[in-house]
Chains A and B, each alone.
Chain A
């Protein structure tokens, strides 16, 4: 049994991805954000939206693993009463997508060039006016970053991104633990009343 080197700081790591199912109740996003702030967790992106169940929302959280331990984030998230389940999917085969809207300076001379680039990236021009176009691009983060790099020479006027959403490939699905009937009467879990 070799000893763990507890002083070792992490080697350079890629971002870690967490998925969380949360109750769709007021204040849940505040609870999550407050947790990240008070524990000093470094988050690259957090997206939240409805699921097929109106009572449940789903979050995708990207953690900067060089500054923050993703397992600690998951273990703290699951403690929140309104967080139903958390799964770390960094090492799972996932489909992950980010969507960006990019407003680029354009003119009659370079519009053809920009359009070609849009085709190559399987992006879309969703608005056009004499001085600029808005491009919509979807894909993994690396693809969006690559496209942003190519568009920069034209002059990016404005950009907005949704942040990453992710889903694990295959027939398994992430739906949280089975619903509970009534766990409020001390059965299932509870504090032992210690002797005085």
Chain B
């Protein structure tokens, strides 16, 4: 069948089951947008900035596990995608970005809106293509989708010259064979390594499992839980691993790292074995490497061979898909009594309880209270609630206080930590999970980075609940300036427009809360409203996220919230 390049783009996506794309048209991608009119099965979401197209596609991918697709024109359109691509790269999110490029005879001539996009995006994509011949396009599209979703998922960019979009060729998707001799991700672990790993697990007295995003990506929730329960091994999660095992599980020690739970960080430092599953020992997780878990052996399972021994030298590195590896490992793991270890952890947990901000008996509206309230009110429907955060203090508090029971209910920008992530990601997630109640928690800084997307939410009528934690500061930067830069506040004061008036300009329902009672009321009210809602929470200005491992410090050298004397004395 004869097809134009533009038609091949859409038909390839259709063959891959893509129903929603996020994009913004422009000169060099016009033939593709023209052809879009003939493919009404594909819903195109017009965002207000290309960065948000990439982030929304990432949100769609994170929520669905399918490939997210974004589209942009050449030059400025394509360069605006970079933040979203970098985010997907660091967080292993399957994404395909389609960009227009100037006509092939103009490439390299500094033509209007020409940028070397494959050059620009080389370090932030898993792979990319510049297509100058329409005969390659069908194969490239198929390869791009396959590379994005397989192995360690990631973003793939396809840059298509405008003349290629116009040109025609024979096209038969099913006849295209993908031959990638250099791309054959390894799934099963080496048997000898698995046997050794099982022996380490069975011999350990103080083991901790470190579970990361890989568990969620490979769908190894059940296998992880079996390992935890069969082996009687406590599990701690990374930020992106939250939800890989219910947070109410008695052996779940919850989040580790810079703002992780104190008992978890203590347990890691005191462990005699770390079993790292689909995580990558980010510096936010390890603290100072030279003092990290000095008494522990390390087993590291990852599908990406380059992660093994990158940051932490391992005793046993197993390259493979974590679900496949756990399936191999489980029969060899035996139950061990670890009462002494659990008693020690319980002691750390009791000590931390006395510092919990939720135990504070004051009338100040703290962010954790708001999050806890949203959490409580949505508990009954928790399997249909998706929580998205932006980046900063509220993100860490959401990780700490919005206890996830759901397998993949928490979406956040982990590796890149990209402010402005929340709202576009929530848009993508709400397309992936149309029946979900999608909450996005965002600070007043990140909100104003992605504010234009309120128009997208209204145009698409996505019933997203936006909770702005407005403290008038760039909170996390302010916290660092307070604690590390000697209280010297530099450019962290941030004003906001009147959010109620702003929302009303967009035609969006909005409410404000300044007290705990009001917070509970507006959350309930927002939930009863079928459409999108903006909630303006005026929160405590100078609260800090605790615990905190300052940069360069060992994981157990945490700054802690002062003990509340009244709780400590049992009042």
Contact = CB atoms under 8 A, between A and B. Distances in A.
Interface of A: 1, 3-4, 6-7, 22-23, 27, 30-31, 34, 38, 69, 71-72, 75-76, 78-85, 176-177, 179-186, 188-196
A140 B265 CA distance: 51
A23 B151 contact: no
- In the A-B complex, the 5 residue pairs with the closest CB atoms: A184-B178, A192-B219, A84-B182, A189-B185, A182-B177
Given A3-B297, A79-B304, A85-B182, A192 B323 contact: yes
Contacts of B295: 3
A120 B299 CA distance: 54
17 contacts: A3-B297, A6-B289, A6-B294, A27-B130, A72-B306, A177-B181, A179-B179, A184-B146, A185-B146, A186-B146, A191-B150, A191-B151, A191-B218, A192-B219, A193-B65, A194-B217, A194-B407
B142 interface: yes
Interface in B119-174: 119, 122-123, 126-127, 130, 142-143, 146-147, 149-151, 153
Contacts of A7: 290
Contacts of A69: 309
A122 to B, nearest CB: 38
B305 A34 contact: no
Of A31, A34, A85, A183, most buried by chain B (CB within 10 Å of CB) is: A183
A23 B181 contact: yes
Interface in B270-319: 289-290, 292, 294-298, 304-306, 308-310, 312-315
B315 A4 contact: yes
A81 B147 contact: yes
A192 B151 CA distance: 10
B94 A179 contact: no
A71 B147 contact: no
A89 B306 CA distance: 18
Interface of B: 63-66, 94, 118-119, 122-123, 126-127, 130, 142-143, 146-147, 149-151, 153, 176-187, 200, 203, 216-219, 289-290, 292, 294-298, 304-306, 308-310, 312-315, 321, 323, 407-408, 432-433
Contacts of A192: 65, 217-219, 321, 323
Contacts of A190: 146, 149-150
Contacts of B63: 196
Contacts of A176: 181-182
A69 B311 CA distance: 12
B64 A196 contact: yes
A30 B151 CA distance: 23
A191 B179 contact: no
Nearest to B321: A192
A179 B408 CA distance: 37
A72 B184 CA distance: 18
A181 B123 contact: no
Nearest to A189: B185
B408 A196 contact: yes
B308 to A, nearest CB: 7
Nearest to B291: A7
Given A81-B180, A183-B180, A6 B292 contact: yes
Given A6-B289, A75-B308, A193 B181 contact: no
B182 A195 contact: no
A125 to B, nearest CB: 42
A30 B122 contact: yes
